[in-house]
Amino acid sequence: MMTYDEAVHYIEEIPKFTKKTALEHTDRLLDELGHPEQEMKVIHVAGTNGKGSTCAYLNAMLMEGGYKVGLFTSPHLIRINERYMICGEPIDDDTFLWAFDRVMEAVKIRMDAGDTHPTYFETLFLMGMLIFQKEKVDYAVLEVGMGGRLDATNVIRQPLACIITSISLDHTEYLGETIPEIASQKAGIIKPGVPVVFDGHDDAASAVIRKRAEELGSPAYELEREMYRVVATTTQGLTFDFGRPGEESVRLSIPQAAEYQMMNAALAFFTMRLLTGVHHISEDRLIAGTAAMRWPCRMETVMDGIIIDGAHNADGIAEFVRTVEHFHKDHEITLLFSAVKDKRYEDMVRELAEGIRPERVVTTKISGYRELSEDVLADLFIKAGCGEVIAEPSPERAFDIARAIKGDGMMFCVGSLYLAGELKKYCKEITAHD
């Protein structure tokens, strides 16, 4: 029997000795485990950006309705247990280890029969299904890991609904080089007759999703930007009206200041309203749940004037820039930035520099095999026209430097969920000592 730390280490090492498996492989392992995924109501969420936030809104509304909810998301920010939330709280180490041991027993049986070892994400998904079964959750909200069609979560055959958030170019080496190619992978989660609710702002992606839904006889609901209108914005969040133009709207408040989060909240709210006959939660409770949502490191104010955001690809950065521009009218901006080398970091830096024109920039690096030098990033910001640029390899020291030089302005930390996780942990340490 492994300890918790040994189990976590083992899981983190899995990418070194496994390759992508087929859904049939995941199914065979679920056979060994007794198909725990069949004992809960599931809402399945795919997309490029906004998946986690949309899942968090669904989770908050179901909890507001009094249900026991399991939330499976990725990646984790600080501890791997965060991938499994039961009513808003990460599972404990004993539960994690129990699920790991159960999965490893099934893996041994299948490998003895000639199967291969499950992948990193596949292992975590299998553990999640066992955990949610053990906890007897009423609902499971599942975020796709990557893509959709070939994702391990796609073994769910009869979800209550499927949601597809915004689609943009990311993981192109796996999902395709064009929006329609990527949309085809995301649309792979649509099941025959199961409603799909999707972000309709990209015409090319929407056409693919609509076509797939029609092929499967699945009711399709396309949400467009004209369906929500900002009422008020503060650093703590925003209020907006949601509804088709000319029809009666509902007023929603969300605890996030980024306007792109309106679509994520709207996708979740619309889906929950669509499923009223299943969960029987009143609209007032759905509105309250939306306002109560908490999702770390997505335009999250962690200290006075300091916001962490997990934007880490072109589309996410574009939305981030639009949000920061709003605050730049009244505040000087200090940017703390890092990225991993397999992202389009040159485009990200250019868009941040040109779109925001921050008064100060601090660059840092995230250690690991995807590490990108803070000096490389600093040179890119300087070439893009930023005046005061500081390179510091330690994220913690970089945070301290940026915090010290921001003055009365605002500080935004962006570029990677890994950076967001490290800084979130560091902020907790600072707060504990204050």
Contact 181, 204 (CB under 8 A): no
pTM, full prediction: 0.85
Packing angle between helix 120-134 and helix 4-13, nearest 10 degrees? 140
What digits encode the pLDDT tens for the residues 135-159? 999 999 999 987 788 999 999 999 9
Q: In the Cβ-directed half-sphere of 397, how many Cα atoms lie within 13 Å?
A: 8
The domain of 192 spans 4-292
The mean of the pLDDT values for the chain is 92
- Among residues 292, 323, 354, the one where a domain terminates is 292
Is residue 289 helix, strand or coil? Answer: helix
- CA-nearest of 340, 313, 323, 309 to 175 is 313
Report the C-alpha gap between 358 and 414 in whole angstroms: 13
266-275, 291-300, 328-337, 361-370: which is most confident: 266-275
Is residue 121 helix, strand or coil? Answer: helix
Q: Kindly indicate the confidence band of residue 119, based on its pLDDT and cuts at 50, 70 and 90.
A: very high
Q: Kindly indicate the confidence band of residue 170, based on its pLDDT and cuts at 50, 70 and 90.
A: low
Would the pLDDT of 174 be above 70?
no
Would the pLDDT of 20 be above 70?
yes
What digits encode the pLDDT tens for the residues 125-140? 999 999 999 999 999 9
pLDDT at 212: 96
Would the pLDDT of 176 be above 70?
no
**Do 270 and 184 share a structural domain?**
yes
Give the contacts of 271 (CB within 8 A, at least 6 positions apart).
43, 58, 161, 163, 195, 197
Work out whether the CA dihedral 204, 52, 18, 173 comes out positive or negative. positive
Residue 336: which CATH number? 3.90.190.20
Report the C-alpha gap between 61 and 288 in whole angstroms: 7
**Do 382 and 348 share a structural domain?**
yes
- Among residues 292, 308, 339, the one where a domain terminates is 292
pLDDT at 175: 63
Radius of gyration for the alpha carbons in the chain, expressed in angstroms and rounded:
21
Q: 145: which 2 tokens?
A: 């890991």
- Among residues 292, 322, 348, the one where a domain terminates is 292
What digits encode the pLDDT tens for the residues 262-308? 999 999 999 999 999 999 999 999 999 999 998 877 778 888 889 99
Q: What is the mean pLDDT of residues 108-124?
A: 96
Look at the chain and count its residues. Answer: 434
Strand pairing class (360-363; 333-337): parallel
* Lowest mean pLDDT, pick from 73-87, 103-117, 288-302: 288-302
Sheet of 300-303, strands arranged across:
300-303, 306-308, 410-414, 333-337, 360-363, 388-391
Q: What is the mean pLDDT of residues 244-264?
A: 88
**Do 258 and 341 share a structural domain?**
no
pLDDT at 251: 96
Q: Name the domain count of the chain.
A: 2
**Do 115 and 215 share a structural domain?**
yes
